[in-house]
A and B are shown apart, each in its own frame.
Chain A
Amino acid sequence: MRNLFVSILLLLASGVYGQQVNAPEAKSFVLSTSGQDASGFSLSGFNSTSTLLCAIGLPVSPSGTTFYMTTTTGLTPASGYTLSGNKTRLAFTGTMSNINAALATLKINTTATSGNVQISVSATVNPTGYFYNPSNGHFYRPISAGATYPNAKTLSSQQTFKGQQGYLVTITSSDEDGFIFTNVPQNQIWFALTDEVVEGQWRIDAGPENGTLIKTSNGQTAGNVVGQYNNWAGGEPNNSGNEDYAVTKWNGSQWNDLPANFSNPYVVEFGTWTNPDDQTFTEFYSNSVNHSNGNVLRAQFVYDFGANVNETLFRTKMFTNHQGIVQGSGDYAALNSLGKIDMTPNIDQNKINDGYKSSISAGQVEYSYVNISNGVTTLYIDLSTFGSVSPSTIKRVSILDCYDGPVTYQQTSTYWAHYIIPSTLTKVTDGSSSFNANIRNAGYNNWAFSCSIGFTQNQIFKPHFSDIKYYGSSYSGLYSSIVTVGDVYLAFKQLSDNGIFGNSNVWFTTPVQFANADVDSSGAFNEQDCFILLQHLLGQSTIWNSSNELTSMIKLIKKSDYDAITSNNWQDYRFTSGSYYLPSIVDNQLNSYNVAVTWKGDVNLSHSALPTGVSQPNSSGNKQEIGIQSMAVRTNSSTGDVIADIWMEIKDGMVEVTISVDPGQNQIGATQFIVKFDNSILDHNKTEFSNKNDINFSRKESSLINVGTLNTNGNPISNLGYKIVFKSKSDLKNILGLVSVESIETIGTDSKQLKVKVQ
């Protein structure tokens, strides 16, 4: 039995941290105050010598809110900007260190209007050959090689830049015209404007404004449409020799009409990146924080899914659950790519009564006092002041200007009702209260208040809960990426060395793994869990409840609680409450909820939040639709790598995918390939295994085939290879992209994840 498993996935694959923008925690600013600290943003992961394009903005804020930075050393403002002065938006270039130095000095100027203050910061490597126009958020790429107008238009539309399709530049404002004049070195530049359909009727010929009529007759100003930008040279357009297309930078900065067959340079336009939080372009990295100006009710969630999950495929909604009635309004809203979402609009503002609040205000009689000793603050209120109010129903209390918050009822004595206050009441003891004249140090750690006592009904928000849903392609695909051969291998290793032989806790590095490995939620991690995991891997059963999939697989835990999970209390975090999270909402304040997300069966925490201080070396930040990725793949060969050769071909009307694995000098204990296929064209026919001695599995889930091999006695696997055969539903001439290998996981018998070179 000792040989049941002798290897483990230690997840030693080197982590490749991607570029990112880090944001600070949300906070509340003071109203009408300039120069408040808004630091905490920083860039990381970028090449230290690269020039970066960075933008700071305030997409949501009370009118008049501005920001500035006190250090701008090494930064160059983007066209149209200056670095100094108060801003609502600023774009500039600089190195990562210079930008971080500037961001560390970010200050906010607030107004008297309370509300949200969202600060966004974005960065990308400043592209060579492209010019960014901050005024409209567009990029421009000048093409100096001459082309006819139709070719310039066609070639422009075939270009892409950071995921955006290009178009022949349109000029819709003097600002844009001036930007091109200043930044594009060529002259006589085609732009998308034509009167080819009706002579003299000039229409924009590409881009978002395609078809817009800007001029109705030829001549410099004749027929210029009000509200549309025209900038024709004197006497132009004149259609001399049938000229139906427009150029800018003609004899200076103005426009002329020319025939199509002229060979002119042109400019390709890409848009739009205006708000730093825009996800318009790929390879742009952004982050934001939602601060508050003044005391504003807010409910901001940050779901921590770890490194390998695409957060944007999850949506959430908040409900109330009061007296057995569950209510919620609006649609489920998507998390952003950082797992953030502001759910303030989901808060049910209709409060309910919850006991009483006692208000201790300045008066003449010492009806109340506090005792502060041994770290405990006890409040005493004279029983004669309560009238019909029961002392045990007091839930909150305000004491002069010293405290306003919850209390816990203790008892009543002959003359006093006793309450515990979760505060040391420094304003009472240090003399800083504005009501110091009403506070008397009575000795023996007692402070008495000359006061009057009032009671009002205490109102609270109804109990809320948030629910989360997955909007990806399929749950089975999601779980195939989360629970893999590595999790099963690791579970068996922990069981054999710890559970069976009673050795020290050597294989699980954090107690959270016990909670995730306890897939039957019995409160104990044992051989039954390992068996269920193996059955899941082999496709003989699933570890999720098919009628309530996400709820049975996911667990949402307050991050501070998650960090505090120990080997003694992990049983308290079994997978029973699923996709629900219970936030405590307090009025007039920024309620921030940091939620750790973890998954049943994710033993190696590849797709779960990592407890603070626990490292997860296999993250790469490469997020795909269902969050899976190859965890040990190399582009270039390195001595000692496993070599995988993947081949796809059409054979006798079938599509065959052949995977052969050469372990080299390695000893492989387990391996798994996830092969994705287009199930609208292909049907899985069969899987053949080269290996005949170990546990082979081939599990079809919608458009995925999970294929792999597992050795259960610690010996290396030999003769590894798979042939996956598909039957085509139609006649195929080629199969490029029809089948792809989405993930590979290979573990050595020496307990380490192996690097794989795919060729």
Chain B
Amino acid sequence: MKFIRIILLIFSLSLTSCYKENIEPLPKPVVDIFSVSEVSVSDSDQLSFNMEKEGSFILKIQDHNTGQILSKEKINLIAGNNSVKIYTKSLPVGVLYLILDDLNKNEVKRTKIIIK
């Protein structure tokens, strides 16, 4: 039994000595959809974005060419990272704006989304 313990000790020491000190794992970058100028989206994609403060906002989709509001909903957001699902089957193919307004209709954030 003592022999087995010694073997295990040697084995674990050898494992430790073989450990390679790798570069510190890099955090996966958090992509804020409003931090990029345009992005392709597909049906049921989760759109992530950061908010400085919590509250109720209006999330709307606007046609790039005509300026027409296509879809709009009220949404409650938290301070920090938020995630919203987008459905694209009823949206036209092409370039659209995703716009976040406050309840006073002041624009807070905007980006281009591309529906393919």
Contacts and interface: CB of A to CB of B under 8 A. Distances in A.
A261 interface: yes
Contacts of A625: 92-93
Given A282-B94, A740-B90, A648 B73 contact: yes
A533 B83 CA distance: 46
B90 A678 contact: yes
Nearest to B38: A160
B36 interface: yes
A741 interface: yes
Interface in B59-116: 59, 61-63, 65-75, 84-95, 105, 114, 116
A759 B69 contact: yes
Given A678-B89, A736-B85, A158 B39 contact: yes
Q: Chain A: interface secondary structure?
A: loop
Interface residues of A, number: 50
Max chain B CB contacts within 10 Å: which of A154, A634, A737, A740? A737
Given A148-B26, A260-B26, A734 B65 contact: no
A614 interface: no
Contacts of B40: 160, 163, 165
Interface string A376-399: 000000000000000000000000
Contacts of B73: 647-649, 734-736
A259 B24 CA distance: 11
Interface string A617-651: 00010101100011001111000000000111100
A112 interface: no
Given A154-B28, A261-B24, A736-B71, A163 B85 contact: no
Interface string A719-755: 0000000000000011111111110100000000000
B23 interface: yes
B31 interface: yes
A55 interface: no
Contacts of A741: 68-71
Nearest to A163: B114
A624 B94 contact: yes
Contact of B75 (A158, A163, A165, A734): A734
Contacts of A677: 90
Given A158-B36, A165-B40, A635 B67 contact: yes
Q: How many B residues touch the partner, as a band? A: 35 or more
Contacts of B75: 734, 736
Interface string B35-54: 01011100000010000000
A649 B90 contact: no
Contacts of B74: 647, 649
Contacts of A649: 73-74
Nearest to B64: A622
A161 B38 CA distance: 7
A629 B114 CA distance: 18
Contacts of A242: 23
Contact of A740 (B28, B61, B84): B61
B93 A737 contact: no
B90 A703 contact: yes
A298 interface: no
Interface string A130-154: 0000000000000000001011001
Contact of A703 (B47, B63, B70, B89): B89
A625 B75 CA distance: 29
Contacts of B39: 158-160
Contacts of B90: 676-678, 703, 737-740, 742
Interface of B: 23-24, 26, 28-29, 31, 36, 38-40, 47, 59, 61-63, 65-75, 84-95, 105, 114, 116
Given A159-B36, A734-B75, 7 more contacts: A148-B26, A159-B38, A161-B38, A261-B26, A634-B67, A734-B59, A738-B87
13 contacts: A151-B26, A154-B29, A158-B31, A160-B40, A163-B40, A260-B23, A261-B23, A283-B95, A633-B68, A634-B67, A737-B88, A741-B68, A741-B71
State the 6 A-B residue pairs at the shortest beta-carbon distance, nearest first.
Answer: A635-B67, A740-B70, A737-B87, A676-B90, A678-B89, A633-B68
